[in-house]
Homo-oligomer: A and B are copies of this chain.
Amino acid sequence: MTTPVFTPSFLQDLEHLFVWRRDVRHFCSSPLPDALLNTLLGETCLAPSVGLSEPWRFVLIQSPDRKEAIRQNFIASNARALEGRRGEEAKHYATLKLSGMDEAPHHIAVFCDTNPTQGRGLGRASMPETTVWSAVMAIHTFWLAATARGVGVGWVSILDPESACRTLSITPNWQFLAYLCVGYPKEPARTPELERLGWERRNPARRRWIYR
């Protein structure tokens, strides 16, 4: 294969992909074809990883009992998150829909093997967190590959990670990173839901860099 040249049209579409990628919380219940899910997971594994360690691990949850236990985990964690808020902010928080797990047809938990033999430790001696960060970049790769195919992804982080590991019978050397709800979104949107609902808004990119 020769070096690809990416056209101006591709660059514009790539920017649209970044712009339209959303954290989705409203899903249609129709499942993805198996082949599509496999394609997405395959592309995901092209993510960067420290020392080529590929430490990402995906757990596709099929058991209704396990899904229900995760749902209870979310409800309890979200109630605790609400307890820490007061007044108008608490009222506003309580109105937000922060998980699409009741409707999303696919639930994928993402873990990191935090001490992988693959990669032989290269690049992580002084910054061992780079292993987890590699798995995080795989999540982002999945997100983009999915969005490009009209598939929505919602990252639920309002969970107790230890409880999630127990629910999913996960080996102790895997760290829980994310619970992804995956499916076709009810309505694609250009603007983040938290911005549409007045919780927070994007700020100018130019404020994010300085010179030294």
Q: Give the B-binding residues of A (Cβ under 8 A).
A: 1, 3-7, 10-11, 13-21, 23, 41-48, 50-54, 56-63, 66, 77, 80-81, 84, 89, 93, 96, 98, 109, 118-127, 129-130, 132-133, 136-137, 139-141, 143-145, 148-150, 155, 157-161, 168-169, 177, 188, 190, 192, 194-195, 199-203, 205-206, 208-212
- Say how far A13's CB is from chain B's closest CB, in angstroms: 5
- Say how far A79's CB is from chain B's closest CB, in angstroms: 11
Nearest B residue to A45, CB-CB: B205
- Which residues of the other chain, B, contact A66 by a CB distance below 8 angstroms? 212
- Which residues of the other chain, B, contact A203 by a CB distance below 8 angstroms? 54, 118
In the bound assembly, the distance between CA atoms of A130 and B145 in angstroms comes to 21
Could you list 13 A-B pairs, sorted by A, with CB under 8 Å?
A6-B16, A10-B148, A18-B145, A41-B208, A48-B155, A50-B157, A52-B192, A57-B210, A58-B208, A58-B210, A59-B209, A59-B210, A61-B212
